[in-house]
Amino acid sequence: MRRLVLSLAMVLCAVLSAMSGELRVAVATEPPGLDPTTNAAAVIRQLLHHNLYEGLVQVDENGELHPQLAEDWEVSADGRQYTFYLRDGVRFHDGTALDAAVVAASFRRAQDPTTGHPRREDYDVIDSIEVVDELVVGFHLVQPQAAFLSLLALAQSVIVPPEADDLARHPVGTGPFQFVEWRPADRLVLARNPHYYFPDLPRLERVEFRFVRDPAAQRRALLAGSVHVVVEVTPENAVELKERPGFTVASGPSNVVQVLSINNSRAPLDQLAVRQAIAHAVDRREIIERVFFGYGTAVGSHMTPTLPYYVDLTDLHPYEPLVARELLAEAGFQDGLALNLTLPSNYAQHVRTGELIAAQLEQVGIRVNIELVDWATWLERVFSQGNYDLTVIAHPGRLDPALILSVYGPERPDYYFRRGWESAEMDQLLAEGSVEVSEERRRELYARAQEILAEEVVNVYLQDMAAIVAMRTGVSGVPILPIYALDLSRVSRE
């Protein structure tokens, strides 16, 4: 009998141990695919970068760069040659060995216009890639690029195997977790990679990303224990959960800019006075307090205080409804005007921000028709086609101003939030900043670039959104990174 009791106890301990090895995470948005090298959707990067896919370089919570698939690297004196020394013994989840030839093929794939890489132009700086040795790969650049290492730390630069032809549905990487299944409208499941090159990682056996769009449903799931973590928890839920025993809320700057995007190519938004009127009608303080319960930092241009290049321009177009009305009258709209505001329905915070902005604009005579669309429609209509007047969305931060602001340069004239806008001065600033090695001079260049965006009101830049994660007690090791990624490699659950 005693032996039976002991056996049952051992089984129970094994079951509990297995259960503690699983982490269920609620996310608001389902990815449209699972390949960050062919799809721009940020949620792919959020869920799979660091967890399933990896790059040569990675970034930590302080924004510092460290080796990942590369153990080390060297940079030539002229800044045009980068040599990377790869880790030995790394294999993809399908068993393919990682070597210099595979790395070279992965970047050539990114440069190939037929593969549809969402940021292909970022790799135009690469003149040639050389397989120096089995574990040594060299990149020769057309010109020095100060942001090259930062570029390699982003999800768009992850290394993928050469024979993988359907990463969008069956992702293959080198990361601590490997793909198990994707149940549309339900969940994405990853499991521990038993051959990971760090044998003590990951600390979890299984991760399930549950697609739970409604914040109230997320809260209920967390309280019931059907999920252990909610990422991008709404601020009102964070305020409540913070006071509940048994739950932990972590937050910090996310390096994510929430933007009221303006279609500069459409009349009357092609008039500076109209855009200035919109800027003066928007009250960032009210948005941060009412929608985000104080979680967030107001910004006045497309950069956040997490970067040393940031310039505070929030006072350039302060909240002044009377000035907004005067500018509208100056532009010939003394009786007001009507605009459409297209919002992605899956992002509750952007919807609520948009609703508040619509009310603020109504106060100065701008009648706003709100149109809610699903995420796939938003990506196709707004992001791809530029078919909108106004929208509210967040843009995940990158690690260098050259990468952040490149969409305002000549390489991306049809990018959805700068269509119809151009600036020869901006083009020159970005061209010089991308190759400048002096930090002092770079700060001057990017300070002026930020001023141009603010002066021209290319968009209305709202805030650096705080990253907020709610967890059941016992979950630990969740980092807040300055890029849009949820790194679960060192997360554990008691």
Q: What is the mean pLDDT of residues 362-372?
A: 98
- Single-letter residue type at 387: N
Give how far the C-alpha of residue 33 lies from the chain's centroid of Cα atoms, to the nearest Å: 15
**What is the tens place of the pLDDT at every residue in 91-136?**
999 999 999 999 999 999 999 999 889 989 899 999 999 999 999 9
CATH number, residue 459: 3.10.105.10
pLDDT of residue 20: 62
**What is the tens place of the pLDDT at every residue in 50-85?**
999 999 999 998 889 999 999 999 999 999 999 999
Alpha-carbon gap, residue 329 to 335, rounded angstroms = 8
Last residue of a domain, one of 157, 172, 198: 157
Task: Please check whether residues 74 and 207 belong to one and the same domain.
Answer: no
**What is the tens place of the pLDDT at every residue in 135-150?**
999 999 999 988 999 9
Q: What's the whole-number average pLDDT of the chain? A: 93
Q: What is the mean pLDDT of residues 155-173?
A: 93
Task: Please check whether residues 21 and 59 belong to one and the same domain.
Answer: no
Task: Please check whether residues 259 and 314 belong to one and the same domain.
Answer: yes
Task: Please check whether residues 351 and 426 belong to one and the same domain.
Answer: yes
Q: Is the pLDDT of residue 15 over 80?
A: no
Task: Please check whether residues 307 and 450 belong to one and the same domain.
Answer: yes
Look at 480 and 282; give whichever has higher pLDDT.
Answer: 282
pLDDT of residue 346: 86
Whether 175 is in a domain gets the answer no
Q: What is the mean pLDDT of residues 183-193?
A: 97
pLDDT of residue 361: 98
**φ, ψ (nearest 5 deg) of residue 59:** -115, 145
Alpha-carbon gap, residue 403 to 389, rounded angstroms = 26
Whether 293 is in a domain gets the answer yes
Whether 179 is in a domain gets the answer no
CATH number, residue 218: 3.40.190.10
Q: pLDDT band for 16, please (50, 70, 90 cuts).
A: very low
Task: Please check whether residues 432 and 293 belong to one and the same domain.
Answer: yes
Task: Please check whether residues 91 and 210 belong to one and the same domain.
Answer: no
Q: Is the pLDDT of residue 17 over 80?
A: no
- Domain count for the chain: 3
pLDDT of residue 3: 38
Q: pLDDT band for 163, please (50, 70, 90 cuts).
A: confident
Whether 166 is in a domain gets the answer no
Q: Is the pLDDT of residue 9 over 50?
A: no
Task: Please check whether residues 55 and 144 belong to one and the same domain.
Answer: yes
pLDDT of residue 446: 97
Task: Please check whether residues 20 and 104 belong to one and the same domain.
Answer: no
**What is the tens place of the pLDDT at every residue in 409-457?**
998 889 999 999 999 999 999 999 988 888 899 999 999 999 999 999 9
Domain of residue 194, residue span: 2-29+186-248+470-493
Residue 435 and residue 468 in contact, taking contact as beta carbons nearer than 8 Å: no
Q: Got the DSSP string for 344-412?
A: ETT-HHHHHHHHHHHHHHHTTTEEEEEEEE-HHHIIIIIIIT---SEEEEEEE--SSHHHHHGGGSTT-
Alpha helices, H only, 291-344: 321-330
Put simply, whether the predicted model's pTM sits higher than 0.85 gets the answer: no
Task: Please check whether residues 201 and 323 belong to one and the same domain.
Answer: no
Q: Is the pLDDT of residue 7 over 50?
A: no
pLDDT of residue 250: 93
**What is the tens place of the pLDDT at every residue in 314-358?**
999 999 999 999 999 999 999 999 999 999 998 889 999 999 999
Whether 462 is in a domain gets the answer yes
Tell me how crowded residue 464 is: count the other CB atoms within 10 A of its CB.
Answer: 24
**What is the tens place of the pLDDT at every residue in 260-317?**
999 999 999 999 999 999 999 999 999 999 999 999 999 999 999 988 899 999 999 9
pLDDT above 90 coverage of the chain, percent: 83
**What is the tens place of the pLDDT at every residue in 374-388?**
999 999 999 999 999
Task: Please check whether residues 455 and 480 belong to one and the same domain.
Answer: no
- Which residue matches tokens 């809320």? 249
Q: How many residues does the chain have?
A: 494
Q: Is the pLDDT of residue 11 over 70?
A: no
pLDDT of residue 438: 87
> Any long-range contacts for 410-417 (C-beta under 8 Å, 24+ apart)?
411/121, 411/124, 412/121, 414/386, 416/261, 416/263, 416/382, 416/383, 416/384, 416/386, 416/388, 417/259, 417/261, 417/262, 417/263, 417/458, 417/459
Pairing assessment for the beta strands 22-27 and 206-211 based on DSSP bridges: parallel
Residue 22's SS3 state is strand
Alpha-carbon gap, residue 188 to 209, rounded angstroms = 5
CATH number, residue 128: 3.90.76.10
Q: pLDDT band for 10, please (50, 70, 90 cuts).
A: very low
Q: Is the pLDDT of residue 232 over 90?
A: no
Task: Please check whether residues 430 and 313 belong to one and the same domain.
Answer: yes
